[in-house]
Amino acid sequence: MKRAASLALTLSFLAVIWAPVRAYDGQYVSVSTQSVSGTEGHAFVYAQVTDSSNTFPAPSGKQYLSPYYSIWTPLYQYWLPAGDPCQWLWLIYVYDRATNKLINGDPSVGVIYFRTKNTLCASGSATPVGMPVFNDAQAQLSLDLQVSLSPSQPLAGSPASLIASLSGRLRNDLNIYLSMAIIDWAVDRWGVDFGDGTVATVTDQRGDYLSLPHTYATAGSYDPRVTAYISGHAQAAVYNSYGNPYLMTRRFTVQVSNSTRAQPGRQALKAYLAPRITAAVAPVIDGLGLAPANVAFQQVDALRGTLTDFFIHPLVLREGYITLDGRPAGSGHTILTAWRYTGPPSDAPPSVATVAGTLHEANDPMRLQWNQPDPLAGGTGRDYDVPLILYVRTTYPDGHVADFTFSSTFSVTVNFAAQNG
């Protein structure tokens, strides 16, 4: 008989606990979302939960026969201005009686409150269980999309970056009896229209920042537009009279787009002017080593019958430079890369003599010797013109590199009064 009475009491208790479950299948509670997409950089998502059952949250304390109990904590809102009539906020913590585990999350962390729902003008010393029930709660997601071009005024034919930055602001409602929150949102994909007929869909940059390179082929005015396709979830928390929380989730999608003005300018007409180069040499009697660096002349002396090394230097009469629309825009730097002797055979021994037509590296000396004519009375000398081709390379300020060739000569005076044989 006791077992039957106990069983009846248990069944009755279970019926009391679980009977309200059917009320949360939608009979009393409704959760809705509304997405307001925007084309001017702003979009919104609104979520609302409404409960017409007029239930109360879990009783305070542990003496009630419920699988859940709640603790009500008064929060004094010291940041409100002096004299504000509503200084107190009640935070509700719902625990599982068997494990004492908090099951509804800490309501004091990371929540932006709606004053109209959570500032209860309480005294701070009594729970507001007997206060009127709020039948609805709302949450809101505000999205802002900024679009820009870097550089802001690119040149046609030069790359630029279209940049989009998305930010969001949440307002979640932690009501005493109902909670409505937007728990997550993310960009699924970006749609890009550069305004010149080029479009793109980007799926590998799903954060809140997009940077996409683009080159406008011609100068003009364009209106590139970026669209963020966003999805997320809104979640309502409803408590029955025993503190049992029910979570109801709704998925939402929303779009936000914005544009900017792109006015790529005409690319300036660029020209690369060649340098003006002639040959200079530094002579050294063969076998005596290298000539001094950066010392060279267009006219030099040599000894009759002596093998002489001539080290070639490019004498820059005018450096190569860039022009933009015909105006100088920076000088380059020219170096010698090779040279070629183009004159007749000299009197140097064939095994070491420089042969006409052979290409030599820039640091190779030109080996020449003159034995004729015979000594002249009076100590006069004779001038020889030495023809050669210079191969040079000019590097311009923008990194452009160009190779040039110049035909040139240098002059050698063989002073017979200073002969050695």
Q: How many CB atoms lie within 10 A of CB 309?
A: 22
Range of the domain at 57: 29-259
Arithmetic mean of pLDDT, 262-280: 90
- pLDDT class of 24 with cuts at 50, 70, 90: very low
DSSP summary character for residue 210: E
Query: For residue range 145-199, what is the model confidence (pLDDT) as tens digits?
Result: 999 999 988 888 889 999 999 999 988 776 556 678 888 999 999 999 999 999 9
Is residue 339 domain-shared with residue 293, that is, in the same domain? yes
* Structure tokens belonging to residue 419: 């002969």
Q: How many CB atoms lie within 10 A of CB 244?
A: 20
- pLDDT class of 137 with cuts at 50, 70, 90: confident
Bridge partners (DSSP) listed for residue 90: 74
Is residue 214 domain-shared with residue 333, that is, in the same domain? no
Q: Is residue 13 part of a domain?
A: no
Arithmetic mean of pLDDT, 82-103: 71
Is residue 250 domain-shared with residue 384, that is, in the same domain? no
Closest among 151, 149, 152 to 163, alpha carbons compared = 149
* Structure tokens belonging to residue 284: 């050294």
Q: Please identify, among 229, 259, 289, the residue that sits at the C-terminal boundary of a domain.
A: 259
Query: For residue range 40-77, what is the model confidence (pLDDT) as tens digits?
Result: 999 999 998 887 765 545 444 444 445 666 666 666 77
Which pLDDT does position 194 carry in this prediction?
96
State whether residue 212 is helix, strand or coil.
Answer: strand
Which pLDDT does position 418 carry in this prediction?
46
State whether residue 259 is helix, strand or coil.
Answer: strand
* Structure tokens belonging to residue 334: 């020219």
Is residue 208 domain-shared with residue 337, that is, in the same domain? no
Mean pLDDT over each residue of the chain, to the nearest integer: 78
Burial of 10 by CB count in 10 Å (0-12 exposed, 13-18 middle, 19+ buried)?
A: exposed
Query: For residue range 232-244, what is the model confidence (pLDDT) as tens digits?
Result: 999 887 765 555 5
Is residue 250 domain-shared with residue 130, that is, in the same domain? yes
Alpha carbons within 13 A on the beta-carbon side of 402: 17
Q: Please identify, among 259, 278, 306, the residue that sits at the C-terminal boundary of a domain.
A: 259
Which pLDDT does position 53 carry in this prediction?
63
Instruction: Between 267 and 319, name the one with better pLDDT.
Output: 319
Q: Radius of gyration of the chain from Cα atoms?
A: 45
